[in-house]
Chain A
Amino acid sequence: AQSVSQHNHHVILSEAASLELGCNYSYGGTVNLFWYVQYPGQHLQLLLKYFSGDPLVKGIKGFEAEFIKSKFSFNLRKPSVQWSDTAEYFCAVRQGSSNTGKLIFGQGTTLQVKP
């Protein structure tokens, strides 16, 4: 069965520090990849997505992610975090070769940015 693993459950950073959150998935076929963010008290929002083409994708608020097929990874990065980036971050995978709408989510990473 497909699965998604996020290595860091809780990350604490100071403002201006660089961020990298790990995400690995277990499916060997074509995949669509997503990062969602949930700010305190808000609903899940799409941060960025990868379907095909350039493996380095840019999202909102200065976030980017790199798809490395050989490593089954889709790590999220930001060069300099802000206090407002405090949130929970979820990596999600969709089986790309089928018509399924199902997303498989990782368990999430809580990011706390100290001012």
Chain B
Amino acid sequence: DTGVSQDPRHKITKRGQNVTFRCDPISEHNRLYWYRQTLGQGPEFLTYFQNEAQLEKSRLLSDRFSAERPKGSFSTLEIQRTEQGDSAMYLCASSFEGETQPQHFGDGTRLSIL
């Protein structure tokens, strides 16, 4: 299966710790997206990249959140000084450029803050 891959699948950490998630998109896709999903809600947009450029960031992405895509392939999402409210499923998606191109989602990383 050459879909979007996310690692780890689950992360449990104590409040105040830093965490980093990785996303490997479908290899031909030049766009990569991060979303956050909490229980009973739909995914909320966080940010997206076209190649290595971060083109859009949501106001949800506080200063504690940073995302990178250094070589235009995989991406990392780091959360510093985690808080209880950061507990969520973090989803990654990728697509070709173009408004008609659908986004393909990974399985997500579930973050639990103790």
- Residue ranges of A at the interface with B (Cβ–Cβ < 8 Å): 4, 6, 32, 34, 36, 42-46, 49, 51, 90, 92, 94, 96, 99-108
Cross-chain contact A105 with B44 (CB below 8 angstroms):
yes
Known: A100-B56, A101-B95, A102-B48. A46 touches B42 (CB 8 A): no
Known: A44-B91, A96-B99. A102 touches B45 (CB 8 A): yes
Cross-chain contact A90 with B33 (CB below 8 angstroms):
no
Within 8 A of A (CB), among B1-45: 3-4, 31, 33, 35, 40-45
- CB B69 to nearest CB in A, in angstroms, measures 13
Partner of A43, one of B31, B58, B108: B108
- Residue ranges of B at the interface with A (Cβ–Cβ < 8 Å): 3-4, 31, 33, 35, 40-45, 48, 50, 55-56, 58, 91, 93, 95, 99-100, 102-108
Cross-chain contact B43 with A90 (CB below 8 angstroms):
yes
Partner of A107, one of B4, B41, B107, B108: B41
- CB B30 to nearest CB in A, in angstroms, measures 11
- CB B87 to nearest CB in A, in angstroms, measures 18
Candidate in B31, B55, B102 with the most chain A CB atoms within 10 angstroms: B102
In the complex, chain B residues whose CB is within 8 Å of the CB of A101: 31, 33, 48, 50, 55-56, 95, 103
Partner of A94, one of B91, B99, B104, B106: B99
